[in-house]
Amino acid sequence: MWPDNETDLDFLNFTSVAETVAEIIVQAGRRPISVGISGAWGVGKSSMIKLTRKALEKRAENLGGDFVFVEFNAWLYQGYDDARAALMEVIGNALTEEAEKRKKGIEKAKEFVERIRWFRLAKLVAGSAVALHAGLPPMGLLGEVWSAGQKLFGGHAAVADVEAAAKAGEEAVEASSGLLKEKKKTTPPKEIQALRDAFEETLAAMGVTLVVLIDDLDRCLPETTISTLEAIRLFLFLKNTAFVIAADDAMIKHAVRQHFAGVDDELVTNYFDKLIQLPIRVPPLGTQEVRAYMILLFVENSNLCVEVKEKIRAGICRQLGQTWQGKRVDRAFVQSLHDGFAPELIGKFDTADRLAPLMTTASGIGGNPRLIKRFLNAVSIRMAISNAHGVGVDEAVLAKMLLFERLASPKVYSALAKAITENEQGKPEFLSEWEENANQGGLLKLEAPWDDDFVPEWLRLPPRLADRDLRGALYVSREHAPLITASDRLSSEAAELLTALLQHPDMAAGLKDRLAKLSRPEITVIMDRLLDRARQEQEWGAPPILEACLVASQADPGQTSRLAAFLGERPAAQIKPSVVPKIADQSWAEGVFKIWENAAGVSKPVKNAIKRERDNGNVVVQ
């Protein structure tokens, strides 16, 4: 398994691009610079940010120069804090910490932080003033003072309320001290300029260049995106600054279009272009890069020592830089970098060789590094399931089946699954002629639903499947299409309902009446498959498969005890508060709630949610 996060290890020869960005920042000297790293989700923007920082740190170490880095992920603050204020505060705290560490520019840094506090307080006061004018209670610190005051003047205050009022008042005075002591009148434009001046003076006093690395901006809601961009605009084009912003420019433009309703496309484009001086797009991956990436993922998960892994990584990246000369990164080249690869690892290199062309061109993956990694993780999980159940599935077969599952249409996949389950030996023998023609370059005349551009590509991919028993591969893939054997004795109606519940569990409510007409043995089989799928969930808030399980249990009350037992057995850490209202009105919910309340690892928010549902009378007590 490979973690799905950014890395400063270069698997795609992106270092050359990161080095270019670092060189531009260095060459800018003290002049301001803003760089936009653009690309679709999963192509490696976050890793490019990490590599850029690494390149700058290396330059500072070898060539001089002094950088202070601030990494800001607006997505983490979404829903918890105002992104504009959060970014200013993160920058202020970083500069204060660095100033104290260097013993330079401390007073300037503190002044800068005080300016940021003014903005925080000004927003708090403005928001409270608007609330009061509208006849609503104010929010935040002033809200606490207001609430305490209401109790005092209403004659309903206890000793604790008097103490709370005093404490809230002290905190409000303390928080607003910088503003209340100001003798002269001030305005937002003056404060903004004062903030910018304090920022520049702090950096000058410290003798550093501030490099702000903004990531995951394209994951945010439009409001958070615009708020962050507005904060960036406050500090852009000031001396001793460099901003590196990683985002999908299409998503940024969407956010601008949503926020500034009615603006034309030219203004949308201009908004982003005025923030970014130097746009750089993460280069798309070709077959060579995809093959190299997959090989390095396999090397990373191997038992090779760190030194050998680094030698192989460096060698592959050098070779990638010369692929324009016709040089290849393949199994043969990788074997030339090291003697003594385990046969198992060489086999994985062969898998990378075979899969790379399809992973590059298939529309569902398109050479996206994150999707490739997720695909390989899915293969690993299914191989683990296979080993645990003693199924004995060939990894290459499983990878080919998974690729078909992910990229072919649901109708075609269902047709393949049906052919496998209806054959006594689990062999899709009808593929034989097609595979032969595809591998010989012959013309394939495929009828619906098989007339898909992806199918001929898939048929050419080894190994051939027509003479393989694929029941094991289908068994470990049954969360997508159920493995229905003759012993299950499902009618065509029940099989159709099971497929619909697994593929679209969130639409289960619309199938309730049809499910109720099935026999109890058939609903039992359906619940078996639904619970198999549910066991793969890692968080029990309210995943869509829960809706399917609830509908099945309502169609046959005999299934309720199975579902209740299943939920009661979930690991405590997986239980989330949102599952509580989802099941609260079920007749069996109280028993599950008692199990969770007595479980050591169940979180306090979950237990609070249970209490809230009981207090509201939503839980059936038997």
More confident residue, 305 or 218: 305
Model confidence over 259-303: pLDDT tens digits?
A: 777 777 777 777 777 888 888 888 888 889 999 999 999 999 899
Average pLDDT over every residue of 544-559: 91
| 312 assigned to some structural domain | yes
Model confidence over 5-58: pLDDT tens digits?
A: 667 778 887 888 888 889 989 888 888 898 988 887 778 888 888 999 998 998
| 366 assigned to some structural domain | yes
CATH of the domain at 254: 3.40.50.300
Model confidence over 398-422: pLDDT tens digits?
A: 888 888 888 888 888 888 988 888 8
| 197 assigned to some structural domain | no
At residue 622 the predicted structure's pLDDT band, cuts being 50, 70 and 90, is low
| Residue 159 predicted with pLDDT over 70 | no
| 186 assigned to some structural domain | no
Q: What is the pLDDT of residue 160?
A: 52
Closest CA to 72 of 193, 229, 196, 252: 229
| 161 assigned to some structural domain | no
For the chain, what is the mean pLDDT?
80
At residue 192 the predicted structure's pLDDT band, cuts being 50, 70 and 90, is confident
Same domain, 297 and 444: yes
Strand 241-246 with 33-38, pairing: parallel
- CA 325, 331, 336, 338 torsion: positive or negative? positive
As a whole number of Å, the CA-based R_g of the chain is 30
Full-model pTM: 0.59
φ/ψ bin of 201: left (φ > 0), alpha (ψ from -120 to 50), beta (otherwise): alpha
Average pLDDT over every residue of 478-495: 58
Q: Using a pLDDT cut of 70, give the percent of the chain over it.
A: 84
> Domain span at residue 332?
287-475
At residue 307 the predicted structure's pLDDT band, cuts being 50, 70 and 90, is very high
Model confidence over 425-455: pLDDT tens digits?
A: 889 999 999 999 988 887 788 888 888 878 8
| Residue 500 predicted with pLDDT over 60 | yes
Same domain, 585 and 568: yes
Q: What is the pLDDT of residue 484?
A: 46
CA torsion, ordered 430, 436, 439, 445, to nearest 10 deg: -60
Q: What is the pLDDT of residue 122?
A: 64
In the beta sheet, which residues pair with residue 33?
242
At residue 123 the predicted structure's pLDDT band, cuts being 50, 70 and 90, is low
CB 239 within 8 A of CB 30: yes
Domain boundary among 410, 440, 475: 475
Local structure of 53: helix, strand or coil:
helix
CB 364 within 8 A of CB 378: no
Q: What is the pLDDT of residue 499?
A: 84
| Residue 318 predicted with pLDDT over 80 | yes
**In whole angstroms, how far apart are CA 463 and each of 49, 74, 180, 238, 395?**
39, 45, 76, 59, 10
At residue 145 the predicted structure's pLDDT band, cuts being 50, 70 and 90, is very low
- Number of domain units in the chain: 3
Same domain, 323 and 399: yes
More confident residue, 182 or 526: 526
Phi/psi for 239 (5° steps) reads: -60, 150
| 486 assigned to some structural domain | no
Same domain, 571 and 611: yes
Same domain, 610 and 506: yes
Same domain, 393 and 423: yes
Same domain, 317 and 434: yes
Model confidence over 54-78: pLDDT tens digits?
A: 989 988 887 666 899 999 887 777 7
> In angstroms, rounded to a whole number, what is the distance separating the alpha carbons of residues 610 and 599?
13
At residue 126 the predicted structure's pLDDT band, cuts being 50, 70 and 90, is very low
Q: What is the pLDDT of residue 174?
A: 52
| 3 assigned to some structural domain | no
| 127 assigned to some structural domain | no
Same domain, 464 and 598: no
Q: Which helix (H) or strand (E) holds 242?
A: strand 241-246
At residue 128 the predicted structure's pLDDT band, cuts being 50, 70 and 90, is very low
Same domain, 297 and 257: no
Q: What is the pLDDT of residue 5?
A: 67
Q: What is the pLDDT of residue 96?
A: 92
Same domain, 364 and 256: no
Domain boundary among 235, 251, 281: 281
Local structure of 183: helix, strand or coil:
coil
Same domain, 56 and 21: yes
Same domain, 212 and 359: no
| Residue 125 predicted with pLDDT over 50 | no
**In whole angstroms, how far apart are CA 436 and each of 356, 403, 427, 442, 453?**
21, 20, 16, 8, 17
Domain boundary among 233, 262, 281: 281
Q: What is the pLDDT of residue 213?
A: 92
